[in-house]
Amino acid sequence: MLVSDEYIIERVEIDERELDRDPAGVQLRYNQTEPGIIRDGVDGIAVIDESDEQYRVDFWGYAFGRLYVKSEGVEEIGQKLTSNDGEIPSWILDSETVNADDPPWWVPESVAIEPTVTCNNCTETVSAQEGLTPRNLPPSIDGPVVCQTCWDRQ
Ligand SMILES: [Zn+2]
């Protein structure tokens, strides 16, 4: 469930092809950190301001569609950014769609616009999007997070 029913103004049936490939608004991306796992949820969400009372939300992935929601619904979407699947944020803002100096009101203050993680193998700090938490890491690696480069070398 993307947004609680009580905050949904309208649910629009839409063909996947009708969704813009590059929608306007601020976008969130699901951050898949386990290589080889196929997820059946939503991979991307775009929040488009229509007015103070109404926002358009396009979402895509295995599930897709369009919602018109109240501001409380957008606040719920913002809360996803603080959901943390262990070491790495599960949802990340697409930094190209957001002004880091003036993020939207619904992004919680504690959220980094471009979060980073530290690789437990090479100790490099990388973008959270490059951080992986594979299930079967070799025991020589002292922690759950590896960067893409180290993983590719396995
Ligand atoms: Zn590394």
d(C-alpha 18, C-alpha 21), whole Å: 9
Residue 5 has φ and ψ, to the nearest 5°, of -50, -40
Residues with CB under 5 A from ligand 1 (ion): 119, 121-122, 147, 150
101 has a pLDDT exceeding 70: yes
pLDDT band for position 87 (cuts 50, 70, 90) = confident
CA of 78 to the centre of ligand 1 (A): 29
CA of 149 to the centre of ligand 1 (A): 6
- What pairing do the DSSP bridges indicate for beta strands 55-61 and 42-49? antiparallel
**For position 31, what pLDDT does the model report?**
93
pLDDT band for position 95 (cuts 50, 70, 90) = very high
**For position 97, what pLDDT does the model report?**
95
Structure tokens at 28: 């969130």
DSSP state of 97: G
d(C-alpha 21, C-alpha 16), whole Å: 10
**Domain residue ranges in the chain:** 5-111, 115-154
CA of 32 to the centre of ligand 1 (A): 17
39 has a pLDDT exceeding 90: no
- What pairing do the DSSP bridges indicate for beta strands 88-89 and 91-93? unpaired
Q: For residue 84, how many C-alpha atoms fall within 13 Å in the half-sphere facing its CB?
A: 11
Task: Tell me how crowded residue 144 is: count the other CB atoms within 10 A of its CB.
Answer: 16
**For position 96, what pLDDT does the model report?**
93
d(C-alpha 126, C-alpha 148), whole Å: 9
d(C-alpha 142, C-alpha 149), whole Å: 16
d(C-alpha 66, C-alpha 20), whole Å: 11
CA of 87 to the centre of ligand 1 (A): 15
Mean pLDDT over residues 129-141, rounded? 91
